[in-house]
A = this chain, B = another copy of it.
Amino acid sequence: MKFMDKYFKARKDKGSVLCLGLDPALPDQRSKDTIEKIYCGDVSDCIQQFSMEMIEAAGEYACAVKINSQYTLFALNFKRLQMLTESIHNYGMLAILDHKLGDIGSSNDSAMYWMEKCHFDAFTFSPYAGNIREATEMAHERDLGIIVLDLMSNPEAEGFQKKCRFNKTPVYLRVAEDVATAGSDGVVVGATGHVKEKDISSVRKTIGEDRIMLFPGVGVQGGDIKKIKESGGRNILINVGRDIIYEKNPREKIVEYHKKMKI
């Protein structure tokens, strides 16, 4: 099944566009927003167990689970990742690896070989090296969806993605054009800071209706769900991470966000 069809099925089953963001940080990693110390013996077990519990809590409610490579890959090898994606799929959710892959041909292919082995449904891709068409073809050969970083909300992204121009087109719109012609499955667009409704609408217009827009930055980062729904259209995923997974009662927060993101 194509990634977009999997997405339509999961969205219908869950009745929501909520995507759970799994960014599990260890207790000694930073001063707040971490897994509680009491749960952590072996760090790989700790990250895996915490992730499994969050997947279970989200199982009835989230359309997708987005696993962040920068928090998990050093601790969880492919066998552990397979266990996570198996659980995600058993609940009828999509498994997305937020990998921001952005390499040349053979290295991209290697990452996709491993992501296919781990049974991910899709991954995120960073287009600094271009290669959107090539990467999309390679991904689809392995039945992987590819979601391309387009317009991020951190202040410096405004410089590199909006103010830089390819002929006269801002980079983020050029990336959106490439996504449309390459047939990639979607884009990542920020939902806070310098990213305004008109930017989101421009991206949607450029990529067309039949692709996903994935919005990180809701919850702690303050993204506005109403603004996203109005400008992004129906085919969206809205990611919430920290504001769920580090709460006393994650399931309660999940139910709350599920409602807000009903479709």
Residues of A whose CB lies within 8 Å of any CB of B are 23, 25-26, 29-30, 33, 43-44, 68-71, 73-78, 81, 100-111, 113-115, 117-118, 126-132, 134, 149, 152, 154-157, 159-161, 163-167, 171, 174
Beyond A75-B77, A130-B157: 15 further Cβ-contacts under 8 Å?
Answer: A23-B110, A30-B106, A30-B109, A69-B73, A70-B101, A70-B103, A71-B107, A75-B78, A75-B114, A126-B129, A128-B149, A129-B152, A159-B166, A164-B171, A164-B174
Determine if A29 and B113 form an interchain contact, defined as CB atoms under 8 angstroms apart: yes
Set of chain B residues within 8 Å of A160, measured between Cβ atoms: 127-130, 166, 171
Determine if A71 and B159 form an interchain contact, defined as CB atoms under 8 angstroms apart: no
Determine if A107 and B23 form an interchain contact, defined as CB atoms under 8 angstroms apart: yes
Q: Nearest Cβ in chain B — how far from A83, in angstroms?
A: 14
Set of chain B residues within 8 Å of A159, measured between Cβ atoms: 130, 166
Which of A29, A33, A129, A171 has the most chain B CB within a 10 Å cutoff? Answer: A129
Determine if A128 and B130 form an interchain contact, defined as CB atoms under 8 angstroms apart: no
Set of chain B residues within 8 Å of A33, measured between Cβ atoms: 106
| 22 chain-A/chain-B pairs, Cβ below 8 angstroms | A23-B106, A29-B113, A68-B110, A74-B78, A75-B77, A75-B78, A100-B102, A100-B126, A105-B154, A126-B128, A127-B128, A128-B128, A128-B149, A128-B160, A128-B161, A129-B149, A129-B156, A129-B157, A132-B156, A160-B166, A163-B167, A164-B166
Q: In whole angstroms, how far apart are the Cα atoms of A145 and B138 in the complex?
A: 32
Set of chain B residues within 8 Å of A106, measured between Cβ atoms: 23, 30, 33
Determine if A163 and B166 form an interchain contact, defined as CB atoms under 8 angstroms apart: yes
Determine if A154 and B130 form an interchain contact, defined as CB atoms under 8 angstroms apart: yes
Q: Nearest Cβ in chain B — how far from A155, in angstroms?
A: 8
Q: Closest residue of chain B to A25, judged by CB? A: B110
Q: In whole angstroms, how far apart are the Cα atoms of A77 and B47 in the complex?
A: 12
